Amino acid sequence: MGWWGKLLGGTFGFMLGGPIGALLGAVMGHQIDKGLNVARLEGPELDADQRELIQTAFFTATFSVMGHIAKADGQVTRDEIEIAEALMQQMALDAEQRKLAMALFQQGKRADFDLAGVLDQFKHQLGRQRNLLRIFIEVQVQVALSDGVMHSAEEKILLQVCKHLGFRQAEYRAIIYLVKASGHFAGEQRQGRKPSAATSAATINDAYELLGVDKSASDSDVKKAYRRMLSRHHPDKLVSKGLPEEMMKVAADKTFQIKQAYDMIKKARGM
């Protein structure tokens, strides 16, 4: 039946307690036992119930924390609402799923939103699935940058997010560069016109940043960076570890960008 079917069906016997379960209960009108034990997932292979548990936690944490970050600077802007709606569209959510996503977004805006509790439970639930945690942070950074400015209040929350999920500040900065480069690169690729010399230089710079490698890197290091980024964002691998199937298109789009960036660098280097 999948995580969404079990969520709608109210079969929470194996589902989430704690702050994440409380969020779901608040938006769906269910009483969820806060005392449920949540097993940490240590092994590389997940059974169906474990994947569905992670998928539910990922969906819940993504949209609620998104709402919290959007509200951080005092008001939710049109850009921030649009980025949330764009993500829902990219995920091809149906009407019920969109309703739940927006309700979670609204929960995240509340003054009593338990950010630390949600993040700690989210990390505990995902266990060693670090690439999923990274995708989660990338989405939140994208929301914060949606209006073109990283406000200090937003950054404060993002640093909290990274700390709770076990990411160092250096890793956070690398994700910032990645998200910015991804936005610039995608924008240039969408325009489809012949770029000027200055635009071409900026685009190739974005391509290197998208791969997380310096322009002075060797061809071998560029290849390694490409493979590393591809592995981190490969949709099939991520879904097998618990990324909601609805977010597969998000990961696939990033993978496509990574491949385009690598092709551009190869062409520029004559590789």
CA distance 199 to 117: 44
Inter-residue contact 69 to 140 (CB < 8 Å): yes
Tokens representing residue 153 in the block: 């209040």
3-state secondary structure of 182: helix
Domain boundaries, the chain: 1-167, 183-271
Q: Which CATH number fits domain 183-271: 3.30.420.40, 3.30.450.370, 1.10.287.110, 1.20.1090.10?
A: 1.10.287.110
CA distance 232 to 255: 9
pTM of the model: 0.81
Determine the pLDDT at residue 68. Answer: 93
Inter-residue contact 72 to 110 (CB < 8 Å): no
Determine the pLDDT at residue 76. Answer: 74
**Biggest CA-to-CA distance, the chain:** 61
User: How confident is the model over 149-206, as pLDDT tens digits?
Assistant: 888 999 999 999 999 999 999 999 989 988 888 777 765 554 454 444 444 566 788 8
Determine the pLDDT at residue 7. Answer: 67
Determine the pLDDT at residue 223. Answer: 93
Which segments of the chain have a pLDDT < 70? 1-15, 30-47, 186-202
CA distance 191 to 176: 23
Question: How much of the chain, in percent, has pLDDT values that exceed 90?
Answer: 25
Tokens representing residue 237 in the block: 């691998």
